[in-house]
Amino acid sequence: MGKTKVAVTIDAQAIIKIDRLVERKVFANRSQAIEEALNEKIERIEHRRLAEECAKLDPVEERQLADEGITGEIETWPEY
Protein backbone atom coordinates (compact mmCIF):
# COMPACT_ATOMS: atom_id res chain seq x y z
CA MET A 1 0.00 0.00 0.00
CA GLY A 2 1.28 3.48 -0.78
CA LYS A 3 2.14 6.11 1.74
CA THR A 4 0.64 9.56 2.16
CA LYS A 5 2.49 12.53 3.54
CA VAL A 6 0.70 14.33 6.37
CA ALA A 7 1.57 17.26 8.59
CA VAL A 8 1.03 16.84 12.32
CA THR A 9 1.84 18.88 15.40
CA ILE A 10 3.75 16.91 18.01
CA ASP A 11 4.85 17.87 21.49
CA ALA A 12 8.49 19.03 21.57
CA GLN A 13 9.38 16.53 24.30
CA ALA A 14 8.06 13.68 22.18
CA ILE A 15 10.19 14.82 19.24
CA ILE A 16 13.27 14.90 21.47
CA LYS A 17 12.57 11.33 22.55
CA ILE A 18 11.97 10.23 18.97
CA ASP A 19 15.20 11.87 17.84
CA ARG A 20 17.11 10.02 20.57
CA LEU A 21 15.70 6.74 19.32
CA VAL A 22 16.72 7.63 15.77
CA GLU A 23 20.23 8.55 16.96
CA ARG A 24 20.47 5.16 18.70
CA LYS A 25 19.41 3.53 15.40
CA VAL A 26 16.22 2.10 16.92
CA PHE A 27 14.42 3.68 13.98
CA ALA A 28 15.75 4.83 10.63
CA ASN A 29 14.03 8.22 10.92
CA ARG A 30 11.21 10.15 12.61
CA SER A 31 8.64 9.00 10.09
CA GLN A 32 9.36 5.34 10.75
CA ALA A 33 9.20 5.86 14.52
CA ILE A 34 5.89 7.70 14.36
CA GLU A 35 4.38 5.26 11.86
CA GLU A 36 5.30 2.24 13.99
CA ALA A 37 4.00 3.90 17.16
CA LEU A 38 0.73 4.77 15.44
CA ASN A 39 0.31 1.25 14.07
CA GLU A 40 0.97 -0.27 17.50
CA LYS A 41 -1.59 2.05 19.11
CA ILE A 42 -4.21 1.21 16.49
CA GLU A 43 -3.56 -2.51 16.99
CA ARG A 44 -3.97 -2.18 20.77
CA ILE A 45 -7.24 -0.26 20.34
CA GLU A 46 -8.59 -2.88 17.95
CA HIS A 47 -7.50 -5.73 20.23
CA ARG A 48 -9.01 -4.01 23.27
CA ARG A 49 -12.31 -3.57 21.44
CA LEU A 50 -12.39 -7.26 20.58
CA ALA A 51 -11.63 -8.12 24.22
CA GLU A 52 -14.41 -5.78 25.40
CA GLU A 53 -16.91 -7.41 23.06
CA CYS A 54 -15.81 -10.91 24.13
CA ALA A 55 -16.23 -9.92 27.78
CA LYS A 56 -19.91 -9.26 27.07
CA LEU A 57 -20.45 -12.90 26.15
CA ASP A 58 -21.98 -15.23 28.73
CA PRO A 59 -19.65 -18.26 28.97
CA VAL A 60 -22.47 -20.56 30.11
CA GLU A 61 -24.69 -19.54 27.21
CA GLU A 62 -21.80 -19.86 24.74
CA ARG A 63 -21.03 -23.37 26.04
CA GLN A 64 -24.70 -24.33 25.66
CA LEU A 65 -24.70 -23.06 22.08
CA ALA A 66 -21.51 -24.98 21.32
CA ASP A 67 -22.83 -28.17 22.89
CA GLU A 68 -26.14 -27.83 21.08
CA GLY A 69 -24.50 -28.75 17.80
CA ILE A 70 -23.03 -32.01 19.09
CA THR A 71 -25.93 -33.37 21.14
CA GLY A 72 -27.97 -34.51 18.14
CA GLU A 73 -27.91 -38.05 16.87
CA ILE A 74 -24.77 -38.73 14.90
CA GLU A 75 -26.86 -40.37 12.17
CA THR A 76 -28.51 -37.03 11.44
CA TRP A 77 -25.20 -35.27 10.89
CA PRO A 78 -24.41 -34.44 7.27
CA GLU A 79 -21.76 -36.43 5.42
CA TYR A 80 -18.51 -34.49 4.96
Residue 31 counted as domain residue: yes
Domain range for residue 63? Answer: 12-70
| Domain annotation covers residue 29 | yes
Using alpha carbons only, how large is the chain's radius of gyration in Å?
24
Q: How far is CA 37 from CA 43, 47, 54, in A?
A: 10, 15, 26
Q: Which residue did the predictor score with more confidence, 68 or 28?
A: 28
80 occurs within a structural domain: no
pTM of the entire predicted model: 0.60
- From residue 38, how far is each of 32, 70, 79 by CA, in Å? 10, 44, 48
pLDDT in tens, 13-64: 999 999 999 999 999 999 999 999 999 999 988 888 888 888 888 888 888 8
Tally of domains within the chain: 1
Q: Is residue 39 part of a domain?
A: yes
Q: How far apart are CA 69 and CA 77, in angstroms?
A: 10
In a domain? residue 7: no
Is pLDDT at 66 greater than 90 in this prediction? no
78: in domain = no
